[in-house]
Every structure is written in structure tokens, then in C-alpha cells.
Amino acid sequence: MEKRIKTVWILTIITAILIIGGQGYWLHHQYCYSTKTFMQELHKQILQLEKEEMNTRYDKRTNNHKYTLSYKIEMPDSVNQNGKTTCIISFYRQQSEIDNLDSLIKQNALLNEDSVIVRDSFRVENISNEILFDAATRYGAEMTHPFQAGKFDSLLQANQIKLTNIRLIQTDSILWHGSYTSSTRLFKPEMYIAYPYNPLLKQALTASIQIPFPSLLQQMAWQLLGSLILVLLLVFCLIYQIKTILKQRKIDEMRKSFVNTMIHELKRPVQTLKMCIAFLNNKSMRTDERAMDEVVKDSMFELDNLSAYLAKVRDMTRADYGHTPLHIRTFDLRETVDKLIRLVNVPTNKKVTIHPHYEMKSTLVTADPVHIANIISNLIENAIKYSGKEVRIDLSCIQKEHTLTIQITDNGIGIPPAEQSKVFDKFYRGNHIPDRNIPGIGLGLSYVKLLTEAHHGHVSLTSQPSKGTTFSIVLPQ
């Protein structure tokens, strides 16, 4: 049994670790995917804002400016099968002579060769016409209204995008499109952006952006909630399974102890009965009437003990199936208590005194008289067994309004605080008992609790080691 329980524990823990690990692995990939998606959307938003910023500068061009910009493209028909051009694009900056002339729209229109101040030529290969036109537009915007990093940063901040480490750099090669890279940090992801504000002159802006962690968690809210519920359910099932296994293990140990104790307890009356039968089988000894009386008395005593053990086992077995039969009627409690005191079995080596007290207008109560007698009898029997040679028992019966309280107080060995919550468990016997040969099968107090709860009442105890114990039975009336 121990080996199987250990195997179940190991397999359960391994399974739990694998499931939690799998959940963690899935969440990690989901987190990386959410981070990547967030960065892609953020990159698109920044590209759109950068485009708007460039168009704003481009739209501010005016021919009242000191210079006019024109450009022309050479070898425009050199187009490959993918629709990309290899050409030379030339830009001309010249003195403004005509008002309201948009020289960039009037492509290839050079007004006066003598007025040209600067000519910039760029050879570009395998570039689409759309990208080429965009690069020319950016060049024109930069010549008339240069890019300002501060204004671009303010535009992004207005859209809740915060840049850090902003730099304007000269790239080694032409960067036609804005791009970004991301860091590999898990909890503080960061993206590094590069946006060409003047591709032909290899001028670009670089910066870094801290990705807000709450935004990522918000995107993963349902995944995190589902994973949390699954993990909590798994942990609950694991704890419940371990508790069940421990409980079953405890029950198994208690059953083994019960079987051993029961064998020991049944062995004594059987041995006694065997001796009595052997005595009765001897004709010469049967003539001794005094000895015959003692034999019959001992036989009846052991048979009563055996019947009591079997009755407890029977009632506890019925309780396992949720059935404790009651025969409720009105009877005289004083008469029942007096009878129990008169018939109590007192060991020869002990002196027992029982003092009944009644705080009742009438000693007539409504309950099952047999079960009430068994409750009181079991508590008196325990008080005698677990006390010294001089035993004092106070039995109080108190009736207030619609409640009957039966209290039995002894001057016995008491119950340690650590065991007080366990004494009502089936088959439990305390570890503090000084003499392990004291008869008992660990069913007495659980039997008392069973019968009390069958009456819809409750049982409690107060105890101090070496001073004594008080059991209180509270029954509704």
C-alpha cells in the first residue's frame, strides 16, 4: 500500500509539473506573439505619423522661398521584369524667379541653367517608381523645411508614444523604409526604430521605445485568466487528491489498529468463556456452588462486554450508510441515570464515586432512552478507565428552555490539547494513555458523537492533562 501511494504521489506531481510547465511554455509563446503583434501595430502607427509629418513639411513649400527645387530622371525606361527602375535622379536648386511655381510637380522643368546653384545626382538601382517618388518628395521637403526631431517627438507623444535615445544619424547605405528591431528581454520589452527622413542623403532618425507591460497584459487578459483558472483547478485537484490519499492512509492505519485491538479485546472474553466451559466440563468442580456462581458471573460479564463491542460496531456500520435508527419517546432521565450508576462495572482495584446533579423542573425528557443510556454509559466507562485508583465522577443534567445538557466530569488523566480534536474520530486511541493494556477499540467517543448527532445535538469537551475532563452533551427538546 505504501509503495502504491508513493507511486501515485510521484506520478501526480510529475503530471502537475508537466501541465504547469506546458502552460508556462504556452503563455511564454503567447506573450512573445502579443509583444510582436503590439510592436507591428505600433510600427504601423509610427510610419503613418511620420508620413503625416513629412506631408505637412512638404505642403508648406512656397515659391517665395529663396530657392526653387527641380529634378529630372535619366534613363527612365530601364525597367526590369519586376517593374523596378535603374536610373539617375538629379536635383537642381536655383534662384526663384517665378511666383507660385511648383517645380517638383513640373518634373524635368529647369527654368534657367544659369541660375542653378547646386546639382545633386543619385544613382538608384532596382527601385520601384512609388519608392523613387517618395524619396524625391522627402528630399524636396528636407531642402525647404528640414526635419526636426523635437517636433516629431512631440507628435508621437500626442499619440501616447514616447521615444528615448533619439538620434539623427548618417546611415552607411540608403534606407528606403522605416524599420524596427526588438530586444529579447522578457518583462521589459523594447523596440529600436530607424526612420529615413531623407533616404537619398542617407539621413535617418533612430530611437528606442519601452513597450508598456500593462498594455501587453491587457491584450493577454483572457489567456491569463484561463491559464490561472486551469492552474488553480489543477492545484486544487492535486491538494484534494493528496488530502484524500492521506485520509485513506490514515483510515487504513486506523483499521489495522482496530483489527488488532478488536482481536485483542475479543480474545479476552473468548479465553474466559473457554475457561468457564472447561470448568463446567469438570464434574468434580461443578459441585462447588460458590465456584459455579463466580464462573457464571464472569461468563455473563464477558458476554456483556462482547455484546457491547458488537453493538458499537453495528451502530458505527449503520452510520457509514447514513442510517442511525431512533425510537423517540418521553422517559424519566433520573430513573435511567440511577439505573446506570447502580449497574456500573467497577474494577476491583478502583474506588468509584458518582455524584448525579439535576437542574431540571422535570426529569422527563424526550429522546431515545436506549441511546441516551449508551451515551452516558460510555462516558462513565471512559471516566473510570482513564482515571486513577480513586475516581470521582460528577454527572450533571441541566435543562434550560428547549435544551438538555448532560455533563460528565472526572478527575482522570485528562486529554492533551493536541489530541482533543481527534478523540471523536473512529478507531482513534490517544498516545498519552499510560497503560496500553487498558481495554478499548477506539469507538467509544465516536459512538457517543454519532448518537448525539442523530438526536440533532452536539458534543464537546474541556480537559486539562492530569486534572480531568468534562464532556458536554447538548440535545434539543
pLDDT of residue 268: 62
Sequence-ordered list of residues with C-beta below 8 angstroms from that of 118, at least 6 positions apart, any chain = 91, 92, 93
pLDDT of residue 107: 41
Burial class (CB in 10 A: 0-12, 13-18, 19+), 244: exposed
C-alpha span between 345 and 329 (Å, rounded): 27
Residue 79 has what DSSP assignment? B
pLDDT digits (tens, 9 = 90+) for 249-261: 777 776 776 676 6
Handedness of CA 231, 232, 235, 240 (dihedral sign): negative
- Given a cut of 90, is residue 86 above it in pLDDT? no
Report the 10 Å Cβ neighbour count for 404.
21
Q: How far does Cα 78 stand from its chain's mean position?
A: 69
Dihedral (Cα; 438, 439, 445, 448), 10-degree rounding: -140
Sequence-ordered list of residues with C-beta below 8 angstroms from that of 431, at least 6 positions apart, any chain = 419
**Around 42, how many Cα atoms within 13 Å sit in the side-chain half-sphere?**
26
The more confident residue out of 240 and 102 is 240
The more confident residue out of 447 and 209 is 209
Q: Does residue 149 contact residue 166 with C-beta atoms inside 8 Å? A: yes
Q: Does residue 444 contact residue 381 with C-beta atoms inside 8 Å? A: yes
* Average of per-residue pLDDT across 216-235: 78
Q: How far is CA 317 from CA 220, 312, 447, 449, 450, in A?
A: 54, 8, 11, 14, 11
Q: Does residue 238 contact residue 16 with C-beta atoms inside 8 Å? A: yes
Sequence-ordered list of residues with C-beta below 8 angstroms from that of 415, at least 6 positions apart, any chain = 423, 430, 432, 461, 463, 465, 469
Helix (H) or strand (E) holding 76: none
Q: Which three cell numbers stand for residue 38?
A: 503590439
* Average of per-residue pLDDT across 122-141: 80
- Given a cut of 60, is residue 414 above it in pLDDT? yes
**What is the band of 441 on the pLDDT scale with cuts at 50, 70, 90?**
low
Q: In what order do the strands lie in the sheet with 403-410?
A: 351-359, 390-400, 403-410, 468-476, 458-464
- Given a cut of 70, is residue 115 above it in pLDDT? no
pLDDT of residue 220: 72
- By C-alpha distance, which of 269, 350, 356, 363 is closest to 310? 269
C-alpha span between 36 and 193 (Å, rounded): 14
The more confident residue out of 322 and 221 is 221
* Average of per-residue pLDDT across 380-404: 90
**Domain 216-317 sits in CATH 3.30.465.10:** no
Q: Does residue 477 contact residue 402 with C-beta atoms inside 8 Å? A: yes
- Given a cut of 70, is residue 82 above it in pLDDT? no
Domain 325-476 fold is Heat Shock Protein 90 (3.30.565)
For the chain, give every domain's residue range: 25-215, 216-317, 325-476
Q: Does residue 454 contact residue 464 with C-beta atoms inside 8 Å? A: no
- Given a cut of 80, is residue 445 above it in pLDDT? yes
What whole-number percentage of the chain has pLDDT above 90?
Answer: 17
Mean model confidence pLDDT for the chain: 78
Sequence-ordered list of residues with C-beta below 8 angstroms from that of 238, at least 6 positions apart, any chain = 12, 13, 16
* Average of per-residue pLDDT across 108-112: 43
pLDDT of residue 63: 46
**What is the band of 109 on the pLDDT scale with cuts at 50, 70, 90?**
very low
pLDDT of residue 189: 84
* Average of per-residue pLDDT across 426-448: 71
DSSP string, 86-127: EEEEEEEEEE--STT--TTTSTT----GGGEEEEEEEEEEEE
pLDDT of residue 246: 79
pLDDT of residue 28: 80
Burial class (CB in 10 A: 0-12, 13-18, 19+), 356: middle
pLDDT of residue 250: 75
Least confident of 73-77, 86-90, 343-347: 73-77
C-alpha span between 251 and 245 (Å, rounded): 10
CA terminus-to-terminus distance, the chain: 47
pLDDT of residue 353: 92
Burial class (CB in 10 A: 0-12, 13-18, 19+), 477: middle
C-alpha span between 75 and 89 (Å, rounded): 9
C-alpha span between 300 and 297 (Å, rounded): 5
DSSP string, 328-367: -EEEEHHHHHHHHHHH----TT-EEEEEEEEE-S--EEEE
Burial class (CB in 10 A: 0-12, 13-18, 19+), 275: middle
- Given a cut of 90, is residue 206 above it in pLDDT? yes
pLDDT of residue 61: 64
